[in-house]
Amino acid sequence: MKGIAASPGIAIGKVLIKRDSQIKIEKKNIDNIEDEIKRLNKAREMSKTQIRTIYKHTLENIGQKEAKIFEAHMMILDDPEYFGQVEEKIKTEKINAEQALKQVTDTFIEIFQNMDNEYMKERALDIKDVSNRVIRELLGVETTDLSKLEEEVIIISEDLTPSDTAQMDKEKVLGFITEIGGKTSHSAIMARTLELPAVVGVEGIIKSVKNRDVVILDGEEGIVIINPDEETLKKYKDKKEKYQKYKNKLKKLKGRESITKDGFKVELVANIGTPKDIEGVIRNDAEGVGLYRTEFLYMDRKSLPTEEEQFNAYKEVAEKLEGKPVVIRTLDIGGDKDLPYLELPKEMNPFLGYRAIRLCLDRIEIFKTQLRALLRASIYGNIKIMFPMISSIEELRQAKQILEEVKEELRRENINFSEGIEVGMMIEIPSAAIMSDIFAKEVDFFSIGTNDLIQYITAVDRGNRKISYLYSQYHPALLRLIKQVIDNGHKEGIWVGMCGEVAGDPKLIPILIGMGLDEFSMSPISILRARWIITNIEQKEMKKFLQHILNLPTAEEVEKFINENINIE
């Protein structure tokens, strides 16, 4: 069976189907409204206790970014509007708490799922998860506890909530398979963080297996094999052993330079969202941070972070990296990420709207507070500032002017900062890529953001399944633009990095080496794999391949050529 490869690795083991008891909610009329509201609040308190436990476990064993999911769950449980509507329904309709909660939840979910904003759509999943937890408490329904397993298993479920994946016993769970979900779903992201093999979006898997069946899970290819024959079993056992040897081989690359056989040296750095992520950066031997997504400091809270809160977060990262570069992107909110307390306008197309630098240049005080915190933290390490979503030279100059004003304020206040701090910009809009020869004269570096760049070049919403096949990192237009940006940057003597998904793509890394990309920023767990590829190729050979690739007319032909001619692994 075929699904979506969510997290690499091979797992072979017995099936455990996580089939939560179907929650049947009957509508009942109640006589005592006060008692029913007490029942609801008791279930809420029990749910809060459970979430606090999960949050603590996640924070200690996985990371702060993943634990923030459960901070959001606590906020839902404390939301007076949400539970106020439930209580009102109990009072006015005199119905049982679980039925009232279900009705209110269904309304909220429908509202959130119909929004264009991907971040708000994810909140619908959080509301559903929290609601189901409270309803189970009200009904006394138990769920499969993945933290208390007696033997090694591969979990199969329709879907896994953040709570499910956070509580998994990593010693016993070999991997998991779900019927729904995508590569960016909570469960897929958590699987990669935990380094558990996973395949998601396998339609019909639950009907095709029973408990204790043997399955093979190939998280690299997105393949699931049920009750394999001896020959297939042996083939995948060998593949698993080979993959383990490969992982061990990668560990030996720690401490080595990222340099090709013919001496072209690059920097392999990591993308992070919170200071807690630095543990993974250090563990995987990244050479710094190429993208610190500061918006996570602003999310899942009720007000803007203060200058001091931001300063402490940036300072912590800079100090922990002990002089290694830390590229910090200024606030990139809007599009698929919303902040309710900012009361952003509802837009027909938020990806083309009021977001990132456009918001910051309009709400200058928010921008200045962040820039003050960044500059103050710059004396504690090698911090670089990067502006996102720049589409015109006027925007860049305005952002730089505001930065200069903040520097002058700090000088007047006798507050130290790094006077020579580097300032760069994201290249993620076609206009910026086309005009990169002009932009290169005004910044210290470029970082190419391929996720949005592909979307804007191809006019494809990557979240739209109907047309997602048109969204390809092998698109010839993208590759030509990347080459143009790198060449224009180098002509002006600035370095050029990349921080989108393409930077960590094993098939495209050799091509980017041929183009002369200076810095690759990716998920920490991809660092050593990228170093293995880079240390086993020659740049001059990749340049020869590049000439041919840039003349291919389709993404399919580009990928086919790479598969047939450049197989490093």
At 55, which helix (H) or strand (E)? helix 33-61
What token pair was written down for 517?
Answer: 């990309």
pLDDT at 129: 85
Q: Please give the average per-residue pLDDT across 286-296, as a whole number.
A: 93
- What angle do the packed helices 393-412 and 364-377 form, to 10 degrees? 60
Q: Which residues contact 373 (CB under 8 A, 6 or more apart)?
A: 307, 308, 310, 311, 314
Q: Please give the average per-residue pLDDT across 238-261, as a whole number.
A: 91
pLDDT digits (tens, 9 = 90+) for 321-362: 999 999 999 999 865 556 777 777 776 676 787 788 999 999
pLDDT at 193: 72
Q: Please give the average per-residue pLDDT across 149-171, as a whole number.
A: 82
The Cα–Cα gap between 390 and 361 comes to: 11
Q: Please give the average per-residue pLDDT across 291-313, as a whole number.
A: 89
- For residues 455 and 430, the answer to whether their CB atoms sit within 8 Å is no
**pLDDT over threshold 80, residue 175:** yes
Q: Above pLDDT 70, what percent of the chain?
A: 92
pLDDT digits (tens, 9 = 90+) for 369-380: 999 999 999 999
**pLDDT over threshold 70, residue 190:** yes
3-state secondary structure of 180: coil
pLDDT at 194: 76
Longest Cα–Cα distance in the chain: 82
Q: Please give the average per-residue pLDDT across 110-130, as a whole number.
A: 71
Write out the catalytic residue numbers: 186, 499
The Cα–Cα gap between 470 and 286 comes to: 32
pLDDT at 280: 86
* Residue 133 φ then ψ, to 5°: -65, -45
| Letter string b/e over residues 109-123, b meaning 16 or more CB atoms within 10 A of that residue's CB | beebeeebbbbbbbb
Q: Find, among 401, 410, 346, the residue nearest to 372 by Cα.
A: 410
Give 261-322 as a 3 state SS string. Answer: CCCCECEEEEEECCHHHHHHHHHCCCCCEEEEEHHHHCCCCCCCCCHHHHHHHHHHHHHHCC
Q: Find, among 387, 500, 494, the residue nearest to 448 by Cα.
A: 500
What token pair was written down for 558?
Answer: 């580009």
The Cα–Cα gap between 387 and 393 comes to: 12
pTM: 0.72
Name the residue with higher pLDDT: 414 or 126: 414
In this predicted structure, which of 170-179, 386-395, 397-406, 484-493 has the lowest mean pLDDT? 170-179
Please report which confidence band the pLDDT of residue 184 belongs to, taking 50, 70 and 90 as the band edges. Answer: low
The length of the chain in residues reads 569
pLDDT at 412: 98
**pLDDT over threshold 60, residue 21:** no
Name the residue with higher pLDDT: 543 or 58: 543
- Measured in whole angstroms, how far is the alpha carbon of residue 365 from the centre of its chain? 28
What token pair was written down for 78?
Answer: 């404390």
Q: Above pLDDT 90, what percent of the chain?
A: 58
The Cα–Cα gap between 50 and 541 comes to: 56
Please report which confidence band the pLDDT of residue 544 belongs to, taking 50, 70 and 90 as the band edges. Answer: very high
Q: Find, among 254, 251, 293, 297, the residue nearest to 270 by Cα.
A: 293
Cβ atoms within 10 Å, residue 346: 10
**What 8-state DSSP symbol labels residue 95?**
B
User: Which residue segments constitute the domains of the chain, with CATH numbers given?
Assistant: 4-19+145-249 (3.50.30.10), 33-139 (1.10.274.10), 260-565 (3.20.20.60)
Name the residue with higher pLDDT: 245 or 72: 245
pLDDT at 347: 67
pLDDT at 351: 72
Mean of pLDDT over the chain: 89
Residue carrying the six token digits 């269904």: 106
Q: Please give the average per-residue pLDDT across 36-58, as a whole number.
A: 88
The Cα–Cα gap between 226 and 53 comes to: 35
